[in-house]
Amino acid sequence: MRRILVAILLLATLSACGFHLRGPQALPFATIYLEMNQYSDLAAAIKRQIATSGSTKVVSKIEDAQVRMVVVRDTKEKHILSLSSTGTVREYELRQRFAFRVLDKQGKEVTPLNEIFIFRTVSFATGQELAKEQEEALLYRDMEGDLVQQLLRRLASTKQAAEPAAATSAPAAPKPAAQQ
């Protein structure tokens, strides 16, 4: 009986603190154009996530977009982290860099240059090349998923960054007339 009471009390406090699962966030613009390779896996993943995020729609013509996301850099790299005493590779670091900015119809920056950097470490063993290739492909796919989530969180925060600027740009109080 005591355990049940403690469990109910814990559940009540958890729900009272405002905890909820992270779900899709609505983006602050109605339409967006992705200025990137439209046929890449990354573009498809971004389009899928935007479609589930709310009322924002990815358009195929730049003229129809309220904003456009310009991809400045999208690179994948593989760096050696450590070598064995015989000079063979022991560990790699897989890196993905993605830089973007968001512009409105007039070409003004809505979101300044942002860079997302994701990395994973992979151990390497001679004789397991095929398995390590598959592991590398899975890690890159996982990194791409993380990248898309970070990208959408940054795009969603654009609205919050723009609201204070709008509040501070309210018309100033009229200055008193100069006495003559």
List, for residues 24-54, the tens digit of each pLDDT value.
677 888 999 999 998 999 999 999 999 887 7
Residue 87: pLDDT band (50, 70, 90) is confident
CA distance 162 to 90: 47
Burial of 102 (0-12, 13-18, 19+ CB in 10 A): buried
pLDDT value of residue 41: 92
Element (H, E) at 85: none
Q: Which amino acid is at 114?
A: N
Q: Could you state, in order of their start, the residue ranges of all structural domains in the chain?
A: 24-162
CA distance 127 to 78: 19
CA distances from 126 to 79, 89, 90, 92, 177 (A): 17, 9, 9, 13, 83
pLDDT value of residue 10: 80
**Range of lowest pLDDT (14-23, 82-91, 141-150):** 14-23
Question: Which comes out higher in pLDDT, residue 57 or 19?
Answer: 57
Domain 24-162: give its CATH superfamily.
Lipoprotein like domain (3.30.160.150)
Give DSSP secondary structure letters for 97-118.
Answer: EEEEEEEETTS-EEEEEEEEEE
| 65 backbone φψ class: left, alpha, beta (φ>0; ψ -120 to 50) | beta
pLDDT surpassing 50 at residue 168: no
Provide φ and ψ at 27, rounded to 5°. Answer: -90, 150
With H, G, I as helix, E, B as strand and everything else as coil, classify residue 57: strand
pLDDT value of residue 171: 45
pLDDT value of residue 18: 63
Residues of the chain above pLDDT 90, percent: 43
